[in-house]
Amino acid sequence: MGHDRCGQTIRRPSRAVSAAVGLVGFAIVASPALRAGEIARRSAPLERFLGGEPAPLKSYRALRRLAASTRGGRMQGTIVAWTELDTARGFRYQIISRSGSMAVQSRALIPALEMEAHALAPGDGGRAALVRANYRFDEALSHENGLVRVGIRPTREAPMLLEGAMFLRPDTGDLVRVEGRLVKRPSFWTRRVDIVRHYTRLAGVRVPIGMESTGQVLILGPSSLSMTWEYESVNGIPVGNPGAQALATRGQ
């Protein structure tokens, strides 16, 4: 407290008030930087994912098992097939075993393989990849069950592209799961299709290992489909031996 030249009393702010004003001022100045740092921290997994795959998938050979059911499980069908991918010949499959309803096989299982073959034709493999050329990625990230959720929207309507979300590991940005709805139906018979795909790493390469989907099949009604991969080789590196299981399946 003091006096001015006219003798009026001047009340000086207390130290606590001064400190509070100082802290508010600091917060106003620092908050943009803090927000930028928080945004950078939150977006780090997405940036790591979009930074490029150190060992991209170029080729594989895998035993694929596909199973579908409809009409409340009263109609079921299965297919076992060798599937191969390489940059020169694209995606190919060879069915080695099939059972159950022929309608389910022809209207759900085989179209799923055919759609993949079309999407991964030679020179077109990148058209289904999770990259900026194919997708818009939501920068408003959130966390679910320990994973980072990123919304995805295709840049065009094309086979294999999904509208939904992908889930990344927060520390590495590695892809764990993708889920959403196909923006283009796989066949005349199949209408709306919702899909969940699962991924892991083999020989240092990210590969799909499982898929579940639900959809509407004309005449047959609501249907479910599952698919699993058992790899024999990835990018030319042996990683397993599903051939013995394939022989046993064929024998059955």
Domains, the chain: 2-47 (no CATH), 55-251 (2.50.20)
The pLDDT-based confidence of 52 (bands split at 50, 70, 90) is confident
Measured CA distances, 11 to 1, 14, 17, 78, 164 (Å): 5, 9, 12, 87, 61
Q: Can you give the pLDDT at residue 78?
A: 97
pLDDT in tens, 184-238: 877 777 778 899 999 999 999 999 999 999 987 776 778 899 999 999 999 999 9
Q: What would the mean pLDDT of 37-53 be, rounded to a whole number?
A: 74
pLDDT in tens, 105-146: 998 899 889 988 887 877 655 777 899 999 999 987 889 899
Global confidence as pTM = 0.76
